[in-house]
Amino acid sequence: MEKLLSSWSSAAVSLPENYVFPVHSRPGDTTVPFCKTLPMIDLKAALAYGRHNAIQQVLEACQDFGIFQVINHGVNDDLVIDTMKVVKEFFDMPNEDKVDVYSEDPNNKCRLYTSTYDYENEKTHLWRDNLRHHCYPIHDFIHLWPKKPTRYRDVVMKYSLQVADLSSRILELICDGLGLGPMYFGEGLTGVQLFSANHYPPCPSPDLALGLPKHCDANLITFLQQDDIYGLQLYRNGEWLGIEPIPNAFVVILGHQSQVISNGKLTSPEHRAITNSTYHRTSIVYSINPKPDTLIEPAKVLINDSNPPLYRAYQFKEFFKSYEEKKDYDKGALEDFKIKAS
Ligand SMILES: O=C(O)CCC(=O)C(=O)O
Ligand SMILES: [Fe+2]
């Protein structure tokens, strides 16, 4: 547990060498402008104008940005606040209360660890601790979740169920918008669901370190809840832009698999998490992933002579292995899966 940032970072006066990112990927000046054009969807209002209107708003956001904020989403506001609170309480606990879930084994279905799954071999450590556990179907995994704080399991269970429901509603809108036919995003594409809480303590050199480097999410889709402390940045048209924290909003982010299934019609955005020298920051990620054996391919209904497949079919586990081995987490992760023009 001594590797955890929360064990030593508060006493650090300078950034250790192995946290300093190479010049080309370090953030430098982190004060970038907010992305003022980021789509913001009021789901309730959008649906009030008819399902067709909601489909159009979601699809446009997914095509143009691949990332948007959603408010009036149907997940209970008090529950959202309470979940952030209980997760912060978890990270605030002394080490002896967290030791049960600390694990250096990436195969563990519930674990607290620091940086990436591959701490020993990574070139630069990330300035984050992460608590991650499976949560679907919930009763297969809840017994593995943290026992403390005592409210943790109850609150996170309610949260997971409601965010899973939101994810189904958003995926149905995407499915209808793309014309994929009913239930395209079924168990195979959504059957692995993870609750992942990132904790970024104050960092002595936010210009040199990163909470998470530039990446696209490997999954199908992410529902991210930001703290009131800013730290999420989007790489768009060659520049970094901040994603403004909006109370109780979810940031919806399409993963690589959505880009492949839509044959490039939808985009998976590159993003990162910066640190700051003053505040602890926490983000909660609800991540929808395919099952390992699921075949991922551009949806057949989207393919025709004028729209040939851009990606070959593969099993999700093949993609994931390459994503982790190549440690090429951004757009490059899809290179080996592209069908090259002959
Ligand atoms: O902490 C954040 O805002 C970003 C988290 C993120 O991108 C991820 O966990 O994949
Ligand atoms: Fe991400």
Q: Which atom of ligand 1 is nearest to the CA of 272?
A: 7
Per-residue pLDDT at 315 exceeds 90: yes
Q: Which atom of ligand 1 is nearest to the CA of 285?
A: 9
Looking at residue 50, its pLDDT comes to 96
Q: CA-CA-CA-CA torsion for 148, 149, 153, 158, nearest 10 degrees?
A: -170
Report whether 208 contacts 20 (CB < 8 A): yes
Query: Which listed ligand is nearest to 256 at the C-alpha?
Result: 2
Looking at residue 333, its pLDDT comes to 84
Average pLDDT in the 217-227 region? 96
Average pLDDT in the 313-320 region? 95
Q: How far does the centroid of ligand 1 lie from the alpha carbon of residue 149, in Å?
A: 23
3-class state of residue 106 by DSSP: coil
The whole model's pTM is what?
0.97
Share of the chain above pLDDT 70, in %: 99
- Residues 268-293: tens digit of each pLDDT: 999 999 999 999 999 999 999 999 99
Q: Quickly list H helices, the chain.
A: 5-8, 43-48, 51-64, 77-92, 95-98, 138-141, 152-178, 187-190, 256-261, 316-326
Per-residue pLDDT at 113 exceeds 80: yes
CA nearest ligand 1 atom 7, residue: 272
Q: How far does the centroid of ligand 1 lie from the alpha carbon of residue 164, in Å?
A: 18
Q: Which atom of ligand 1 is nearest to the CA of 211?
A: 1
Looking at residue 342, its pLDDT comes to 65
Q: How far does the centroid of ligand 1 lie from the alpha carbon of residue 270, in Å?
A: 11
pLDDT grade, residue 331 (50/70/90)? confident
- Residues 46-84: tens digit of each pLDDT: 999 999 999 999 999 999 999 999 999 999 999 999 999
Average pLDDT in the 177-181 region? 93
Looking at residue 325, its pLDDT comes to 78
Average pLDDT in the 91-111 region? 95
Residue 284 CA to chain centroid, in angstroms? 8
Q: CA-CA-CA-CA torsion for 201, 7, 151, 274, nearest 10 degrees?
A: 20
Which residues have C-beta atoms less than 6 Å from ligand 1? 196, 198, 212, 217, 224, 226, 231-232, 271, 273, 283, 285
Q: How far does the centroid of ligand 2 lie from the alpha carbon of residue 220, in Å?
A: 11
List, edge to edge, every strand of the sheet that includes 212-215: 212-215, 270-273, 232-236, 239-242
Average pLDDT in the 216-228 region? 95
Q: Which domains does the chain have, with CATH numbers?
A: 32-292 (2.60.120.330)
Cα–Cα distance for residue pair 31/319, rounded to 1 Å: 34
Per-residue pLDDT at 318 exceeds 80: yes
Cα–Cα distance for residue pair 122/261, rounded to 1 Å: 30
Q: How far does the centroid of ligand 1 lie from the alpha carbon of residue 100, in Å?
A: 24
Looking at residue 271, its pLDDT comes to 97
- Average pLDDT score, the chain: 95
User: What residues does the ion ligand 2 have nearby, CB within 5 Å?
Assistant: 217
- 126, 195, 285, 323, best to mutate for ligand 1 pocket (most atoms within 8 Å of CB): 285
Q: How far does the centroid of ligand 1 lie from the alpha carbon of residue 307, in Å?
A: 33
Q: Which atom of ligand 1 is nearest to the CA of 231?
A: 3
- Which tokens is 89 given? 């309480």
CA nearest ligand 1 atom 9, residue: 285
Cβ-count burial 267-286 (b if 16+ within 10 Å, e if not): bbbbbbbbbbeeebbbbbbb
- 91, 232, 284, best to mutate for ligand 1 pocket (most atoms within 8 Å of CB): 232
pLDDT grade, residue 322 (50/70/90)? confident
CA nearest ligand 1 atom 8, residue: 285
Average pLDDT in the 126-135 region? 98
Query: Which listed ligand is nearest to 226 at the C-alpha?
Result: 1
Cis omega (within 30 of 0) for bond into 137: yes
Block residue for tokens 């004060």: 31
* Cα distance between the two ends of the chain: 51
Looking at residue 252, its pLDDT comes to 98
Per-residue pLDDT at 142 exceeds 90: yes
Q: How far does the centroid of ligand 1 lie from the alpha carbon of residue 251, in Å?
A: 10
